[in-house]
Homo-oligomer: A and B are copies of this chain.
Amino acid sequence: MALVNRSLVTIDDLSNGEIEALFSLADEMTDSMSEQFTLCQGKVLASLFFEPSTRTRLSFETAMHRLGGSVVSVADAKATSLAKGESIADMARVVGSYADIIVIRHPWEGAAKVVADYAGVPVINAGDGGHEHPTQTLCDLYTIVKERQAIRGLRIALWGDLKHGRTVHSLAYALARFGATILFHPGQGLEMPEHVIRKLTTEYGGELRRFEAVDAGGGGLFPLDAIYMTPSQPHQLAMMPDVSVQVELEMGVDALYVTRLQQERLSDNADDEGVKESYPVVDKKLLNEKEFERTMVMHPLPRVGELAYDLDADPRSMYFKQAARGVPVRMALIALLLGVKEVSSPEEDDWKHDYPVYCGGLGVRCRNPKCVSIQDTEVKYIKHQFQIVGNQPLTLRCIYCEHEIYPPYIASSDWHDGTLESKKYHSANSHWARDIKPENLIAFDTRDEAESHGFKPSHFVRNNC
């Protein structure tokens, strides 16, 4: 499938084959960086940044300039018509009628999808709240590939703020798809969100094993919270007692991916002080441990205190290389989406799922307060939609922010004979969750909601009141 005119909202919008083809083109860009300045001549990229950024914005804009294209730029949310109460969809339609391609960063999760839905031109997600940041993931993967040739079988540790760090979410998905083993070491209270874990295990088929006691890191081993292994290896994991995991780890960590504490996304709790104090720090001393002998130290930057300056001159440090590679990777991506370069069409990946879609007819809404779909300016036009990713219990994944909800009551729009008597609602835990056809499904958050639409409780619901 050609990449021209497509958008990149989540890393899953690209197949493994497409990512590999993109990396080949990035190599080409690196090798002849100064000769590309006519490739996008006459094309305009709109760079819309509604959250602070230096590196990502400048990296995209530099990439477009090195391709010979032009850039129009919004670097401050307050100076735009969004400040006048305009919706994202309107903004997308207008900017899409000016520019040939749009790059968007926005604090609302799912905002990039809305822009992609309405712009009419290719859209690249440069970070939407805590959701995804797929081009950072491309730079991360590209760095691993350049240094280690392949990703399959590598042991990659993710450290720090795994809760708010959108870069580690996208990265974890991609690592799972490419067959890496992932070692989780979150800061205190900063574990991977449940929906990310679920997506990892249900979508890409791997397995997760949590540890309670090992995270103290006794015996010189590095602290660990959980381990994820991809489909090719789960049998190993199943057979592996906690101690053996440590033995496995002694074989060495291939990459240590450190993230900063996203303080701007913390609440104002008293506990936050504890979070900051216990946040893991990576420094020269830690890197002296045997399992880090050949470890690449990676970081999406900016760093604050979690990555010591004494590592900067260490040959294992990759973070400035990661940043520098952002330009050729983004050049390749822009060139492909604009169709000025093409890659041969690799086949689709087998991990892709086609979940049925629930259109949220009678009231169920995403519960993520940062989801684009529930914001005041957006509710007027947005289509509330969810992927039905599980039915025991019924699990709906918002198509915008990918957070999951579990509505407790369900009904069918295809009731018997169309008579009111047969309009019953059921518990979402009951067999009905499997039996109602997705196209007929209606979900409710409360009994009142169901009854206000004329539905009556089924026997089961009544008996469990």
- Which residues on A are within 8 Å of B, measured CB to CB? 34, 36-37, 41-42, 44, 46, 49, 52-55, 57-59, 61-62, 65-66, 68, 70-76, 78-86, 90-91, 93-95, 97-99, 260, 264, 301-304, 309, 312, 320, 323-324, 326-327, 380-381
Contact = CB atoms under 8 A, between A and B. Distances in A.
A65 B44 contact: yes
Given A70-B65, A84-B52, A320 B93 contact: yes
A53 B83 CA distance: 9
A327 B302 CA distance: 34
A309 B80 contact: no
Contact of A80 (B54, B61, B79, B84): B54
A345 to B, nearest CB: 26
Number of copies: 3
A221 B83 CA distance: 35
A252 B324 CA distance: 56
Contacts of A304: 84-86
A42 B29 CA distance: 13
B72 A53 contact: no
Contact of A74 (B41, B44, B58, B380): B58
26 contacts: A37-B42, A44-B62, A44-B65, A52-B79, A52-B80, A52-B81, A54-B74, A54-B80, A54-B82, A54-B91, A55-B81, A62-B98, A65-B72, A74-B75, A76-B76, A84-B302, A85-B304, A86-B304, A90-B303, A91-B302, A93-B320, A94-B323, A94-B324, A97-B320, A97-B323, A97-B324
A309 B41 CA distance: 36
A380 B72 contact: no
A120 B82 CA distance: 34
Residue among A46, A65, A74 facing the most chain B CB atoms (10 A cut-off): A65
Nearest to A380: B309
B94 A55 contact: yes
Contacts of A71: 65, 72
A224 to B, nearest CB: 28
A218 to B, nearest CB: 30
A54 B86 CA distance: 10
B75 A54 contact: no
Nearest to A327: B98
Contacts of A52: 78-81, 83-84
Given A34-B42, A44-B66, A302-B81, A54 B309 contact: no
Residue among A90, A91, A264 facing the most chain B CB atoms (10 A cut-off): A90
A197 to B, nearest CB: 27
